[in-house]
Amino acid sequence: MKSNYADAVRTAVEAVKELDSDDPVRPIAFQEVLRAALTGGAIAATPATALRSGERSASDAATRLAGRLGLTVDEIQRVFDFNEAGPSLTINPLRLAANKAGATAQIALLIAAARQGGTGENETAADVIRDECTEFGRYDESNFAGTLKTMRAEFVLGGTARARTYRLTRPGFERGRGLISSFAGGQVGNG
């Protein structure tokens, strides 16, 4: 048994060694190759280099986010659109909190979860969150930074005052998961 496990680990290491060490797909690829090697499943003939970040599809980000949060890919795709520019929200703006501070907090959690859990970003820039809030008509210039600053349980603040960044904590990911699940489960719009 130990020999089979050691062989499986060597197979997995060999399969992912061509990926960049900071590539967010690397641990997932290792896990999948190891699982296939241990269960006798087929390992895809596609070389590991095909998983390099520039060649990943949008569905890969949705799949990673779903796996990270314990949700289905369908739920993720009801809330986000993943494209070359990164994830964007696709929910009806009327489903967000009525007040700007509440909506800003929701948008920040959703976008940070998608970017950090789906695309592998380490932290999300305030400008990215601000742009999404603006797109949804919820940007409040006077209170934007203050709203995010109150979310210390959900975010670790980084950067400088002019270039603030936010990294989700475990409670932040959990709140993001709850929001995604809620938005994905309900009816959008009037129908």
* Ordered strands of the 155-159 beta sheet: 124-125, 164-168, 155-159
pLDDT higher than 60, residue 160: yes
The model scores a pTM over 0.75 = no
Average pLDDT over residues 11-40: 70
For 98-125, what is the mean pLDDT? 95
Q: Read off the pLDDT of each residue in 160-179 and give the average, rounded to a whole number.
A: 94
Q: What is the reported pLDDT for 55?
A: 40
Mean pLDDT of the chain: 82
Q: How far apart are CA 168 and CA 84, in angstroms?
A: 22
Asked if 113 and 69 count as a contact pair (C-beta separation under 8 A), the reply is yes
CB 94 within 8 A of CB 104: no
Query: What is the average pLDDT across 86-95?
Result: 93
90 has a pLDDT exceeding 90: yes
* Averaged pLDDT, 173-186: 92
Residue 165, CA atoms < 13 Å, CB-side half-sphere: 10
Q: Tell me which of 54 and 75 has the higher pLDDT.
A: 75
Domain ranges of the chain: 2-54, 57-185
Where residue 48 falls among pLDDT bands split at 50, 70, 90? very low
CA 30, distance to chain mean position in Å, is 19
pLDDT in the model for residue 123: 96
DSSP codes, 127-175: HHHHHHHHHTT---TTTHHHHHHT-TTTEEEEE-SSSEEEEE-HHHHHH
pLDDT of residue 59: 67
More confident of the two residues 190 and 32: 32
- Tens digits of per-residue pLDDT, 56-71? 455 689 999 999 999 9
In the chain, the percentage of residues whose pLDDT exceeds 90 is: 61
